[in-house]
């Protein structure tokens, strides 16, 4: 409830007084008229004014009965609390800036990224031993160093892991040479090796360091190796010396050699070791020491020892080991000390939540990933969890509800070979760093700008306009579909779990507007009527989970694309069965990369666009490829440089007006460019930058070919006038942009889909966004509103031909009301939906 309202200021004791007022000794309770409630409630509670109790009555009672009872009051209060909780949860979903590729200092895969608290800098290390030093503010590359290890030749050096020893200003780096080197951060010679731990039986793969928050001299360095062993070095006086000082006469300039056997035998009084082999011979993927539990936590890809907890008892006693089993093993894990939960990244596509004291089964299962989960990290303060999967999909989970509240895909670099991915989270700075082999990608969350209106509980993936029912249809990553009335923004109906745990990636309507096609990341396209009945399941992924980017419904075929180089086609004669299998596309494979988009121009021209920026023109009747269109950097060289690649990747391709004598196709892509093509002459006609330095964009076009609308990853929409653009033939490529008619920002995050429609004689624009909202805007013009926001509905009561001053406004969706005295404040704000104020004239006299 909003701050300042009476119901938000009343205490538990005040509500008990109201309960006694309504219920008393009666089992059924009593009800009051407005005047009775104001006087008796104010007299009983003695908090607030009589006017505020009148406002509370008007907020609760929205029927003609004009009486209030305890059930109605408590229902209203619970509804308000539920709305508050929903809005607060939505407000915690981060809004990410466009990802930024960092200057690559590495030529081989990045093995670890760490944060140095003392200098507020970041370190990254690659497999070959290259160390990158990054500025903490802007992530600028400051320095690069080459780690030295005299035990191996430089070309044979292979780093496996790195960890920071914050309390002693050192980093520990492990190598495949079965060594662990400790480098001093404060020495005159930067990153000089101070200790070298040798004699390990297996090569360490994962490192972790913990120091006591109150007694920093007590610390634990944990290692997991290729032999399935988890080892820990427990330091007693880390701030004085990690290991025993060298004997007199030893070389002071060289690193002190520490033998693992000496540590195990207890020859170093400043530390002792702990070990277990509960993982068998499986490689230990990740280790953690949990100070709150006094335990070693580790995971492996072995189902029998997916996760192991080694409980530290008294010094000198062996670890008490607990093993947790999963179906296929675990790639990664993390621990939330506040909730005492462990999250594991499963090879079986699941994220599991565990109570460390319950080994029989997990306390939560987070489903939604379509491939092996490779990394998990808790956002501790927000009680959220980030997970990343092998197919480059990032998900954000609300741990309490165990629901996915954000899904991010399509923005990560595509790699041809097997990709080594690392995920590093800096919660204090709201930064997420991901590595893809040698490439580093930085994602930073934007600052929150107060409370936002949302249409869905999850990121909106698609929005359509149904001209038959005059409704807006939107889908989200939570697999829900919502139908809205355009005039009022009222939610008509909602369908939940349309594809189970898989999100809906896109939608389409058939020509009759009576069938809705929804595509899920489960690889299935479903055909629905608007009563929620599923008529067909199209097996687009052939029983595999795939990422469908577009469904194109034509007269005799349905084309599905997004995950392979060839179109997947379904022919109408095969729709006699509930489960429909795909047919063969006669044209075969013509693209060199995954087909992402398509557009159709009657009577028979089909154009498809692939990830590498290539367009293919087809005869849709014969399904033969006619010609190819490719961006030509030489012909575009007169265009001002934007610092980005010419061959951008087009997530959308849209047909322009066939009346144009020069161009009949427009495409947009990954570097903010829009191109106009002539498909008959296989030529590029025009290219211009619609959005600068913003990454990937999407677009749509009005049916009449008058307006082109583009949208970017920051929520900005631009409307371009193209009715007279590229009308005359030209020998070269036009670099001049069409007329920009308007720019607006109805969203706070990436725009995921655009749709234009003609409604009530006006051109309108619908936009869906990852910020969970669906916006309605005039075309061209301002934003009308967001589906789900307050819609003004004036209820004018007439008594003896006089307007009652206590008339109130009803809030759309929740049935809440506000006094007419606040009406002018509302009308001075942004125009309500479609400038319409619905007048509900009640002419019957009020007794």
Please determine, for residue 516, whether its predicted confidence score (pLDDT) is greater than 90: yes
Residue closest to 480 by CA, chosen among 450, 459, 453, 508: 459
Q: For residue 344, which of 358, 325, 357, 360 has the smallest C-alpha distance?
A: 325
Cβ neighbours of residue 487 closer than 8 Å, sequence gap 6 or more: 760, 833, 834, 836
* Cα dihedral 35, 37, 43, 46 in deg (nearest 10): -110
pLDDT, one tens digit per residue, over 284-302 is 999 999 998 999 999 999 9
Residue 845 confidence (pLDDT) above 70: no
Of the candidates 497, 494, 462, 493, the residue with the CA atom closest to the CA atom of residue 478: 497
The Cα angle at residue 386 between residues 381 and 391, in degrees rounded to 5: 170
Spatial separation of the C-alpha atoms in residues 163 and 209, rounded to whole Å: 7
Residue 46: Cβ within 10 Å count: 9
Over the range 367-388, which residues count as b (16 or more CB within 10 Å of their CB) and which as e? ebbbebbbbbbbbeeebbbbbb
Average pLDDT of span 794-821: 31
* Helix or strand run (H / E) with residue 196: strand 192-198
Q: Which of 754, 808, 701 is nearest to 462 (CA)?
A: 754
Give the highest mean pLDDT range of 20-29, 211-220, 326-335, 646-655: 326-335
**Residue 365 pLDDT greater than 90, yes or no:** yes
Would you state the pLDDT for residue 719? 94
pTM of the model: 0.60
Ordered strands of the 295-300 beta sheet: 284-290, 295-300, 307-311, 320-324
The pLDDT of residue 639 is above 50: no
pLDDT-based confidence at residue 85 (cuts at 50, 70, 90): low
Strands, E assignment, 66-128 = 100-101, 110-116, 121-126
Q: Which of 56, 54, 51 is nearest to 10 (CA)?
A: 56
What's the pLDDT tens digit per position in 733-746?
888 899 999 999 99
Beta-sheet pairing, 192-198 with 256-259: parallel
Q: Are 701 and 708 in contact (CB under 8 A)?
A: yes
Which pLDDT does position 842 carry in this prediction? Answer: 25
How do strand 471-476 and strand 516-520 relate by DSSP bridges?
unpaired
Q: What is the pLDDT of residues 777-792, one digit of tens each?
A: 998 888 888 997 754 3
DSSP characters for 766-785? EEEETTS-EEEEESSS-EEE
Determine what percent of the chain is predicted with pLDDT higher than 70: 85
pLDDT in tens, 565-612: 999 999 988 898 999 999 999 999 999 889 999 999 888 999 999 888
Alpha helices in 640-731 (DSSP H): none
Output phi, psi for 573, to 5 deg: -60, -25
Instruction: Please tell me which of 102-116, 218-232, 730-744 the model is most confident about, judged by mean pLDDT.
Output: 218-232
Is pLDDT of 771 > 90?
Answer: no
Q: If you average pLDDT over residues 73-87, what whole number do you get?
A: 71
Find the angle CA(407)-CA(412)-CA(415) to the nearest 5 degrees: 135
Which sign does the torsion angle of CA 821, 825, 827, 830 carry?
negative
Residue of 639, 644, 611, 613 whose CA lies nearest to 100: 644
Map 605-644 to HEC letters. Answer: EEEEEECCCCEEEEECCCCEEEEEECCCCCCCCCCCCCCC
**For position 317, what pLDDT does the model report?**
85
CB-based contacts of 794-799 (< 8 A; 24+ apart in sequence) = 794/823, 794/837, 794/838, 794/839, 794/840, 795/840, 795/842, 796/839, 796/840, 796/841, 796/842, 797/842, 797/846, 798/841, 798/842, 798/843, 799/845, 799/846
Q: Which one, of 169, 168, 196, lies nearest residue 182 by Cα?
A: 196
Rounded CA-CA distance 471/465 in Å is 6
**pLDDT band, residue 538 (cuts 50/70/90):** very high
pLDDT tens readout for residues 664-711? 889 987 778 899 988 888 888 889 999 987 778 899 999 888 899 999
Going by C-alpha positions, the residue among 324, 322, 311 that lies closest to residue 361 is: 324
Is 306 within 8 Å of 291 (Cβ atoms)? no
Alpha carbon distance 233, 6 (integer Å): 59
Query: How many Cα atoms are found within 13 Å in the side-chain-facing hemisphere of 376?
Result: 31
Angle at 160 between CA 158 and CA 166, to 5 degrees: 120
Q: Is pLDDT of 248 > 70? A: no
pLDDT tens-digit series, residues 692-702: 877 788 999 99
Query: What is the C-alpha separation between 670 and 694, in angstroms, rounded?
Result: 9
Query: What average pLDDT does the structure give for the chain?
Result: 82
Across the range 137-159, mean pLDDT stands at 85
**pLDDT above 90 as % of the chain:** 42
* Residue 824 confidence (pLDDT) above 60: no
Task: Please state, as a whole number, how many other Cβ atoms lie within 10 Å of the Cβ of residue 480.
Answer: 20
Residue 26: the pLDDT is 64
Q: Are 730 and 685 in contact (CB under 8 A)?
A: yes
CA angle 268, 269, 273 (to 5 degrees): 65
| Higher pLDDT, residue 253 or 144 | 144
231 confidence band (pLDDT: 50, 70, 90): very high
Which residues, including other chains, have CB under 8 Å from residue 775's CB and lie 6 or more apart? Answer: 746, 747, 766, 767, 769, 783, 784, 785, 786, 787
Map residue 689 onto helix, strand or coil: strand
Closest CA to 229 of 290, 265, 279, 272: 279
| Three-state secondary structure call for residue 461 | strand
pLDDT tens digits along 170-186 = 999 999 999 999 998 88
At 844, the pLDDT band (50, 70, 90 cuts) reads very low
Structure confidence by residue, pLDDT tens digits, 310-364 = 999 888 788 999 999 999 999 999 999 888 999 999 999 999 999 999 888 999 9
H or E segment at 476?
Answer: strand 471-476
């Amino acid at each position: 409830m909003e701050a300042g309202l009476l119901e938000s200021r009343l205490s538990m004791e005040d509500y008990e007084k109201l309960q006694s007022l309504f219920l008393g000794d009666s089992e059924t309770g009593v009800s009051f008229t407005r005047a009775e409630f104001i006087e008796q409630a104010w007299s009983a509670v003695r908090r607030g004014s009589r006017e505020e109790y009148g406002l509370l009555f008007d907020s609760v009672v929205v029927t003609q009965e004009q009486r209030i009872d305890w059930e109605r009051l408590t229902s209203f209060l619970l509804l308000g609390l539920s709305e508050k909780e929903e809005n607060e949860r939505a407000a915690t979903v981060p809004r990410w800036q466009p990802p930024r590729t960092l200057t690559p200092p590495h030529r081989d895969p990045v093995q670890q990224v760490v944060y140095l608290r003392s200098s507020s800098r970041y370190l990254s290390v690659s497999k070959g031993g290259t160390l990158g030093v990054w500025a903490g503010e802007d992530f600028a590359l400051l320095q690069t160093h080459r780690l030295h290890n005299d035990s191996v030749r430089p070309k044979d050096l292979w780093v496996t892991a790195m960890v920071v020893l914050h309390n002693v200003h050192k980093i520990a780096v492990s190598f495949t040479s079965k060594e662990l080197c400790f480098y001093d951060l404060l020495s005159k010679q930067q990153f000089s090796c101070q200790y070298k731990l040798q004699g390990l039986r297996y090569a360490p793969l994962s490192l972790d360091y913990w120091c006591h928050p109150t007694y920093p001299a007590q610390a634990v360095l944990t290692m997991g190796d290729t032999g399935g062993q988890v080892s820990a070095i427990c330091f007693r006086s880390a701030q004085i010396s990690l290991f025993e000082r060298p004997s007199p006469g030893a070389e002071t300039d060289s690193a002190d050699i520490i033998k693992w056997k000496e540590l195990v035998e207890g020859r170093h009084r400043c530390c002792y070791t702990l070990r277990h082999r509960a993982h068998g011979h499986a490689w230990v993927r990740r280790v953690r020491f949990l100070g709150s539990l006094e335990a070693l936590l580790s995971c492996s890809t072995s189902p029998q020892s997916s996760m192991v907890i080694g409980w530290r008892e008294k010094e000198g006693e062996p670890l008490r080991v607990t093993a947790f089993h999963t179906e296929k093993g675990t790639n990664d894990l993390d621990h939330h000390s506040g909730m005492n939960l462990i999250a594991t990244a499963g090879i079986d596509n699941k994220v599991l939540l565990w109570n460390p004291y319950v080994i029989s089964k997990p306390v939560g299962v987070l489903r939604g990933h379509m491939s092996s989960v490779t990394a998990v990290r808790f956002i501790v303060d927000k009680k959220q969890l980030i997970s990343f999967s092998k197919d480059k999909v990032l998900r954000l989970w609300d741990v309490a509800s165990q629901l996915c509240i954000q899904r991010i895909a399509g923005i990560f670099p595509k790699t041809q070979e097997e990709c080594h991915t690392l995920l590093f989270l800096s919660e204090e700075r709201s930064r997420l760093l991901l590595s893809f082999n040698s490439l580093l990608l930085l994602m930073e969350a934007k600052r929150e700008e107060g409370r936002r209106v949302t249409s869905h509980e999850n990121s909106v993936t698609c929005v359509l306009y149904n001209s038959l029912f005059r409704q807006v249809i939107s889908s989200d990553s939570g697999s829900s579909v919502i139908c809205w009335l355009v005039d009022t923004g009222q939610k008509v109906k909602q369908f939940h779990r349309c594809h189970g745990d898989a999100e809906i990636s896109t939608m389409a309507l058939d020509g009759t507007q009576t069938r809705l096609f929804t595509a899920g990341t489960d690889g299935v396209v479903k055909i629905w009527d608007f009563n929620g009945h599923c008529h067909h399941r199209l097996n687009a992924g052939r029983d595999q989970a795939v990422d469908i980017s577009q469904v194109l419904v034509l007269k005799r075929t349905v084309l599905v694309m997004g995950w392979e180089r060839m179109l997947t086609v379904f022919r109408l004669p095969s729709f006699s069965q509930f489960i429909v299998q795909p047919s063969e596309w006669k044209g075969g494979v013509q693209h060199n990369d995954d087909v992402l988009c398509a557009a159709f121009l009657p009577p028979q021209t089909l154009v498809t666009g692939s990830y590498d920026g290539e367009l293919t023109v087809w005869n849709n009747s014969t399904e033969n490829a006619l010609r190819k269109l490719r961006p030509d950097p030489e012909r575009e060289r007169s265009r001002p440089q934007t610092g980005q690649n010419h061959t951008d990747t087009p997530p959308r391709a849209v047909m322009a007006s066939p009346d144009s004598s020069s161009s009949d196709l427009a495409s947009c892509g990954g570097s903010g460019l829009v191109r106009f093509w002539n498909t008959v002459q296989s030529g590029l006609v025009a290219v211009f930058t619609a959005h600068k330095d913003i990454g990937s964009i999407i677009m749509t076009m009005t049916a009449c070919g008058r307006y082109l609308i583009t949208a970017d990853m920051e929520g900005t929409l631009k409307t371009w006038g193209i009715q007279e653009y590229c009308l005359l033939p030209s020998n070269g490529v036009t670099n001049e942009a069409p007329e920009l008619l308007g720019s607006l920002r109805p969203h706070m995050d990436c725009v995921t889909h655009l749709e234009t429609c003609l409604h009530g004689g006006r051109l309108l624009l619908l936009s869906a966004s990852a910020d969970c909202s669906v916006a309605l805007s005039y075309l061209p013009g301002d934003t009308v509103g967001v589906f789900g926001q307050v819609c003004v509905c004036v209820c004018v009561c007439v008594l003896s031909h006089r307007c009652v001053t206590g008339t109130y406004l009803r809030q759309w969706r929740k049935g809440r009301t506000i006094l007419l005295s606040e009406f002018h404040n509302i009308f001075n704000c942004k125009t309500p939906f479609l400038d319409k104020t619905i007048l509900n004239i009640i002419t019957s006299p009020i007794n």
